Chain A
Amino acid sequence: MNKIYKHVIADIIRNRIVLFYTLILLLASLSVFSLEDTSSKGLLSMLNIILMIVPLVCLIFSTIYMYNSTEFIELLLSQPLQRNAIWWSLFIGLMTSLGLAFFVGAGIVILIFEPSFLGLMLVICGLLLTFIFTAIALLAAVLTKDKAKGIGLSIILWLFYAIIFDGIVLFMLFQWADYPIEKFMIFISMLNPIDLARILILMQMDVSALMGYTGAIFKDFFGTTGGIAISFTTLILWVMIPFMCSLRYFKKKDL
């Protein structure tokens, strides 16, 4: 397992795309923080990068990587190796390289310019989103044999989580404006990791506005230690469940 993992990491680094991604993140984060006079505006730009760019890059890169290593996987399967170990090491290899890219490119810069709980929250959420969308990419790649379909599926998934889901939620909010749906909204937000990450960061970023009545309900949940713990558990489940599904599928898959 260790050997496969090392090979995956070396392969990804030789690939240069991840290095390029790191560099782009580094450039973007350095420029947003040094161009604005207050760090808060920079944080807002970073929030958008974390919520939009990071999931997109992780999804697309991981999906394509999985398809490109089909032959490598087939080769490995001809050896006396467990399917479990192969899939795990591919996943961990992707997670570490993309996570490292995010941490070096954006995480360190955020922590330097905003050494607070808010900054830490941004970095942790960014890392978790990286892992989640890598796992989702694995699932998308294992579900379809056709490369174009798989990449298409992952793009649709990104569109769904980043934009369409929010549109649906906003529509629901207006349809049921007369009902007390605040607590239901907390549950709904658990169904989308991007939303969940955004709300967790929002709780730290816009404290003053959130002290209003409705805000107070969300604050009572997402602002407390228990709520934060539940949110992070949910985010970790968002990593585990798609990955476990893909693993189960991969084990039975006829290659």
Chain B
Amino acid sequence: MITHKTYLIVALLTTWFLPSAQASTWKVGKNERFTTLAHAIQHAQSGDSILVKKGVYHEHNLIVDKSLCIIGQGLPVLDGEGKYEVLSIKASQVTIQGFHIRNSGISSLKDLAGIKIYDAHHVQILNNLLTNSFFGIYVQYGKHCTIKNNRIIAYGIEEQQSGNGIHCWNSSFLQIQNNVIKGHRDGIYFEFVTHSIIKNNRSFRNLRYGLHFMFSNNDTYISNVFTNNGAGVAVMFSNHVNMFHNTFHQNWGDASYGILLKEISDGIIQGNHFTKNTTGIYLEGVSRVKMNRNTFSNNGWGLKIQASCQDMTIHHNNFLNNTFDVSTNGTLVLNNFNGNYWDKYDSYDLNRDQVGDIPFRPVSLFSVILEKNPTTLIMFRSFISALMDKTEKLIPSLTPEQLKDQFPLIKPVKL
């Protein structure tokens, strides 16, 4: 009986390891069997590995149409000479690791990229450096792909002459982790991408948005840092999007927002930091989004919430040292602002339950005036504007009466 079982196990193990036993490793380099990567790919079988030694390879457009594991040793350079798409991956289960991919071609017709994945699944792009690419890493119809530890740097000057750092289109189950993206048009761009995780990326100094996604549902963004992008982060027409512990920092300009949320529903925005932005979050047509434990500090405007938003619950957020905490464009309020900490709240708490006894109205008269007549900014912090704000606090007339925090916290929320 026992021998029977052993035979079975041995038989199973051999069948499992059989393919790997047949897989071979090919080397590419100056003194190796292959001097070009294209040659090696031609010879290799699916499941093989290719090791590429240090050097500069001008391979025009490399097409990977077999399931290969291609590994660079000592950061070999693949140069697109400003004309070609460097790597086109057209097979599933491909791994690309440790390359320096540079100078992809620029074409607005073909969307040339440093690395482009066409209709494949389980592709892994790891530890690469991409410089001066039009699009950095481009995924179309990808599933279960992993993009990890890449550094994607471009020197774009104009939006037209520059593509996106990581561009994903019509894909699902992607994992985008620990990448650094700089100087592209949009740092990370998603369109029709679902069930994906974007984690620990740093996207900064991009021309337009640090992160831009549309029609991308059920995605989760964790611990990313978006700094100094031309227009911050834009998020549109999506539902069930979760954002946790991200940092939105120094997005300065009139049309620049920490996050621009437009037509978003059913998401959670939690534990994020919005610091030194002209506008922390701009919300338009947003519904059923829960916002809690976020910190808004040193922004021009913490939240700009349009009257078209509804059923939002905004609680346990810290509003610290913003010029204006909240501003809105109408009198209709369908959102719940109860239970936040506002540093501008200066009332009392007689029963010591850490909740202020008088509601706080975060919309100041001056922010309403400013919304209508931006030039009045020059009068900000003058005695007369302070006087008007105080009067408005006592007898609300222009500010929306319903926009108030019934239970303002006395102490900041500990995060």
Contact = CB atoms under 8 A, between A and B. Distances in A.
Nearest to A178: B373
A215 interface: yes
B382 A209 contact: no
Interface string A180-202: 01100100010000010011011
Contact of B380 (A38, A41, A52, A206): A206
B35 to A, nearest CB: 54
Nearest to B379: A170
Nearest to B299: A208
A211 B376 contact: no
A208 B375 contact: no
Interface string B158-181: 000000000000000000000000
Q: Which of B301, B343, B375, B380 has the most CB of A within 10 A?
A: B375
A218 B377 CA distance: 9
Contact of B300 (A38, A174, A206): A206
Interface in B355-389: 372-386
B278 A209 contact: yes
A166 to B, nearest CB: 4
For B376, B377, B380, B384, the residue with the greatest tally of chain A CB atoms inside 10 Å of its CB is B377
A82 interface: no
B252 A198 contact: no
Contacts of A173: 373, 375-376, 378-379
B253 interface: yes
Contacts of A201: 381
Given A163-B384, A166-B384, A177-B373, A209 B301 contact: yes
A170 B300 CA distance: 21
Contacts of B277: 208
A162 interface: yes
A210 B377 contact: yes
Contacts of A209: 278, 299-301, 323-324, 377, 380
Contacts of B323: 206, 208-209
Nearest to B411: A37
A198 B300 contact: no
Given A174-B373, A206-B323, A212 B254 contact: yes
A113 to B, nearest CB: 15
Interface in A113-127: none
B374 A166 contact: no
Contacts of B299: 208-209
Nearest to A189: B378
A212 B374 contact: yes
A114 to B, nearest CB: 13
Nearest to B380: A202
A201 B375 CA distance: 17
B374 A38 contact: no
Interface residues of B, number: 32
A210 B375 contact: no
Contacts of A170: 376, 379, 384-385
A38 B301 contact: no
A185 B372 CA distance: 17
A116 to B, nearest CB: 13
A216 B374 CA distance: 11
A189 B376 CA distance: 12
Contacts of A101: none
A51 interface: yes
B300 A210 contact: yes
Contacts of A181: 375
A212 B278 contact: yes
Contacts of B193: none
A40 B254 contact: no
B276 interface: yes
Interface in B376-404: 376-386
B308 interface: no
Interface of A: 38, 40-41, 44, 47-48, 51-52, 162-163, 166-167, 169-170, 173-174, 177, 181-182, 185, 189, 195, 198-199, 201-202, 205-216, 218
Given A181-B375, A208-B278, 20 more contacts: A51-B382, A163-B383, A166-B384, A169-B378, A170-B376, A173-B373, A177-B375, A185-B378, A208-B298, A208-B322, A209-B301, A210-B300, A211-B252, A211-B253, A212-B254, A215-B374, A215-B377, A216-B254, A218-B377, A218-B378
**Complex A-B, nearest 10 residue pairs according to Cβ-Cβ distance, in ascending order:** A209-B300, A208-B300, A209-B323, A214-B374, A213-B254, A211-B252, A166-B384, A211-B278, A212-B254, A206-B323
9 contacts: A41-B321, A51-B382, A169-B378, A174-B373, A208-B277, A209-B377, A211-B253, A212-B253, A215-B300
Interface of B: 252-254, 256, 276-278, 298-301, 320-324, 343, 372-386
